Amino acid sequence: MVEVRDLTKYYSDVRIINRLYFTIPQNSVSGIIGPNGAGKSTLIKIISGFENQTSGDVLINNKIVNDFDDKKKYISYMPEFMLLYPDYFVKEFLDFFHKQINYKDDELMDFLGLKSVFDKKISHLSKGWHQRLKLYTSLAMNRDIIILDEPFDGFDPLQMNDILKIFDLKKDKTFILSIHQLSQAQKICDYFVLLDNGNLISYGSIEELKEKFNCSSDLLEDIFIKALKKDG
């Protein structure tokens, strides 16, 4: 379980996120949802330890965990813009990666089809294959909490159907995703944290959010629009 308590972040005198409180259930696939500039990427960087908050706390399993070295024991993080080694062949890079983490996930590698591109340079991979390689490096860390920032850019609809099975393969993990397309988020996630302009609008399942905002629609987009109007 991940909990955020009174989390605030300033850059100079500009407030990016404002006193956020929410809980993400264990073994859920949770989406951080909001328009551009809502603070999604900043929030997940703080949770993962790649940014420091100005104030507040991140808790994992009811324990305050604010230090990066402590967080990396629990969390792996895939940023939206992640530079791998472009001049490495895929197999060469993965051999190096496995030595660093002292772990190899053959089942995950087979699921993502990476052996079929072993002899390609990373710089020659399509965006979809590059995303697969990034996903592997995040999931193969074998952490309990996996944070992914816009992880599905570059996949066509058929590829997406296959890739989404990854949540069944890793159903013992807690996923936190930043996704800008609400229709896609609803297909993937079972829990949501709604942000706007750095503020928390609400959090919960679709049914909980529908009830809170008295929304008749089952669509996350409609619920979010109604939530924004109510908040405004």
**133 found inside a domain:** no
Burial of 188-200, coded b for 16+ CB within 10 Å and e otherwise, reads bbebbbbbbbbbb
Q: Are 42 and 17 in contact (CB under 8 A)?
A: yes
Per-residue pLDDT of the chain (232 residues; tens, 9 = 90+): 899 999 999 998 999 999 999 999 999 999 999 888 889 999 999 999 999 999 999 999 999 998 888 898 999 999 887 778 889 999 999 999 999 988 889 999 999 999 999 999 999 998 888 889 999 999 998 899 999 988 887 777 777 878 888 888 888 999 999 988 888 888 889 999 999 999 999 999 999 999 999 988 999 999 988 888 776 5
State the DSSP string of 179-220. -S-HHHHHHH-SEEEEEETTEEEEEE-HHHHHHHTT-----H
**209 found inside a domain:** yes
In this structure, are strands 14-24 and 2-11 parallel, antiparallel, or unpaired?
antiparallel
- Residue (of 192, 208, 154, 202) closest to 20 by Cα position: 202
Q: For position 52, which CATH number holds? A: 3.40.50.300
Q: Are 65 and 74 in contact (CB under 8 A)?
A: yes
- CA separation for the pair 36, 45 (Å, rounded): 16
**39 found inside a domain:** yes
**45 found inside a domain:** yes
Q: Where are the beta strands (DSSP E) in 38-116?
A: 55-60, 63-64, 75-78
The structural domain count of the chain equals 1
**137 found inside a domain:** no
**87 found inside a domain:** no
**112 found inside a domain:** no
Backbone angles phi, psi at 172, to 5 degrees: -90, 5
- CA separation for the pair 77, 195 (Å, rounded): 20
**49 found inside a domain:** yes
- Residue (of 187, 201, 172) closest to 39 by Cα position: 201
Burial of 150-173, coded b for 16+ CB within 10 Å and e otherwise, reads bbbebbeeebeeebeebbeebeeb
- What are the tokens at 128? 């979809």
State the Cα angle at 172 between 175 and 136, rounded to 5°. 60
- What are the tokens at 161? 């159907």
User: In terms of residue numbers, what domain contains 56?
Assistant: 2-82+143-231
pLDDT at site 1: 86
State the Cα angle at 143 between 69 and 191, rounded to 5°. 110
pTM of the model: 0.91
